[in-house]
Amino acid sequence: MTAVIEVQHLTKNFGKVEAVRDASFSFAEGGIHGLLGRNGAGKTTLMKLMTGQEFLSSGSVKIFGKSPVENASVLGRVCFINESQVYPEDFRGKHAIKAASRFFSGWDEAFAHELIEDFGPPLNRPIKKMSRGQRSAIGVIIGLASRAELTFFDEPYAGLDAVARQMFYDHLLADFSRHSRTVVLSTHLIDEASNLLDRVVVIDAGEILIDADAEGLRSEAVTLVGKATAVHEFAAGREVLGVQQLAGIASVTVAGLDDNARRAAADAGLEVGPVSLQQLIVSRTSGRTSATKEGADS
Amino acid sequence: MTALTSDAPHGTPGLGERLWDVVRLHTTNPWTTLILPPLITLGIFGLNYAIWALVSRAAGAELESDAFANNGGVLWILVYMMVTAIQAMSDTFRFALGMSVTRREYYLGTSLYFAILSVIYATGLTVFGWIEQLTAGWGLGGYFFAPFGTADQSLGLRAYAFFVLLLMFFFLGTVFASVWMRWKVNGLLTMLFTIAVALIGLAWWLTDVGLWGSVGDFFTGNSPLGLLTWTLPFTAATALAGFGLLRRATP
């Protein structure tokens, strides 16, 4: 498989702020890739760098093997749906969709109509008067109907309700299996999207924290629940990602347990359960952030 | 949609097609660039006409025949086109980038649109000037579409004048718009201050070396056609400056 996106030692500074620091990762062609992280972690900046909207400070970004900056042959195959996309003043929903239909050469008008029907955004309403969810629907429709070979969705469903989000997942999966597309999705709702994702890149404070196969990542850690004493005894000396305790019952998230260790845990009377992607990422990022803060305070 | 370019999965549209898409982006909502300017022009003309009618009724036979021949009101459209260029660009630039348009395609397409607008407005103003001539100043000797006593010039020259001046103000607008998009208010203020300093410096220098006479000669020595044509290199320079500035702008 060829890499559609190749990022190497990428750094982006805004004045003194390092928004992205020495990031390296690559995404293979085809598949839905997650770009996850907290607010302000650098997800949007990273997407802007990958679509030539921002200029990098150092390192390299290759999309389809070439730099995307001012490169029409690359950008013509890319669609970037930005959560904070600014639309022209007085643009109505229909104007945005009409304009998009001209700019994206793979645009599927029939599909666009189907999506409009499903998501039902008020096409005659000025976009600046739309709710967040309605604006998101416009973005989702454009992103899906563009049929771009590489599509970036940055928080595509901010403000959308659960039904609309499910609709988005369904359309994305269906369309993605029929047409060869590579999708990069950034989202807060990690668990909801986790079973869509093939690969996961987690960025925190501008640095790539995790770059792994979603399946592999999930099996990397387990949750152990049981009597506090037994749990702590077992967890001692292991890589603990999170601890919760209520009365005499404790639950810990432990990384790096092989099959033998899992059996041992079960034998010790502990309940071994899967860890959700969200839990895993939260424990990795929150732990790190507090460690950084302590470091900064001292 | 693009059945002719089907070698790549979706086909990569040619540059011309992309530029036209940018033009269409500007016309998607025609209010700012296509509807408002003629409306305001006609509005100002209407007000002028009302004043001429009022004055000539009050003055009666005492009115001098060329009383309304030196009107400059129509020139507002030149300055307004600069504002229009700034509005149109700051309005659509970020969206265009979001539609995977390169800055180069955006700037070239926008320039093409401004050139088309210059042709449209130059034609419109000239047609009204022609009607004005045929009706001897709308029956009142009022010359709105031939500013500052230029009614005796040929229609061709007047059309050319409108065209090159509109073009010049549009491309001045692209410079201001690009500066605005890169550095916002501080950039604009710095630029205006720099221009003011440069102009005063130039005036000092011209005085110092005693070249004001030559400057005067340039304006009196060249024909109107020659002077108008001299705006073209200047316009080209502003167009290049606008592009140079926009190339590094981010949404």
Q: Which fold has domain A219-297?
A: Alpha-Beta Plaits (3.30.70)
Chain A hits for B11, CB-CB cut-off 8 Å, are: 105
- pLDDT value at A282 more than 50: yes
- Bridge partners (DSSP) of residue A274 are A222
- Across the interface, do A72 and B248 touch by the CB < 8 Å criterion? no
pLDDT of residue A6: 97
State how many domains chain B has: 1
User: What is the span of the domain harbouring residue B127?
Assistant: 15-246
Domain with CATH 3.40.50.300 in chain A: 3-216
The verdict on a CB contact (< 8 Å) between B100 and A148 is yes
A89 φ/ψ sector (left φ>0, alpha ψ -120 to 50, else beta): beta
Chain A contact for B6 (CB, 8 A cutoff): no
Residue B251 lies in a domain: no
Question: Which of A54, A96, A106 is the closest to B10 by Cβ?
Answer: A106
- B90 within domain boundaries: yes
Question: What is the b/e burial string over A203-217, where b = at least 16 CB atoms within 10 angstroms of the residue's CB?
Answer: bbbbbbbbbeebeeb
Nearest chain B CA: its distance from A174 CA (Å)? 19
If one compares B129 and A295, the residue with the highest pLDDT of the two is: B129
Three-class DSSP labels, chain B: CCCCCCCCCCCCCCHHHHHHHHHHHHHHCCHHHHHHHHHHHHHHHHHHHHHHHHHHHHHHHHCCCCCCCCCCHHHHHHHHHHHHHHHHHHHHHHHHHHCCCCHHHHHHHHHHHHHHHHHHHHHHHHHHHHHHHHCCHHHHHCCCCCHHHCCCCCHHHHHHHHHHHHHHHHHHHHHHHHHHHHHHHHHHHHHHHHHHHHHHHHHHHHHHCCCHHHHHHHHHHCCHHHHHHCHHHHHHHHHHHHHHHHCCCCC
A180-234 confidence digits (pLDDT tens): 899 999 988 888 888 899 999 999 999 999 999 988 888 888 889 999 999 999 9
Identify whether B184 is part of a domain.
Answer: yes
Contact A148 B24 (CB under 8 A): no
Of A75, A88, A105, the CB nearest to B91: A88
Is A49 in the B-facing interface, judged by CB distances under 8 Å?
Answer: no
Is it the case that residue B9 has pLDDT exceeding 60? Answer: no
Identify whether B6 is part of a domain.
Answer: no
The average confidence (pLDDT) of chain A is 90
Q: Where in chain A is the domain with CATH 3.30.70?
A: 219-297
A86 touches chain B (CB under 8 A): yes
- Residues 108..137 of B with a Cβ closer than 8 Å to A: which? none
Partner-chain residue, chosen from B15, B18, B104, that has the shortest CB–CB distance to A70: B104
* Residue numbers in B near A85 (CB within 8 A): 94-95, 98
Stronger pLDDT, B69 or A55, i.e. the higher one: A55
Q: Please give the model's pTM, rounded to 2 decimal places.
A: 0.89
CATH architecture classification, A3-216: 3-Layer(aba) Sandwich (3.40)
Distance in angstroms (rounded) separating the CA atoms of residues B100 and A104? 8
Within a domain: B76: yes
Nearest in space to A207 (alpha carbons), one of A3, A6, A12, A53: A12
The pLDDT > 90 percentage for chain B reads: 71
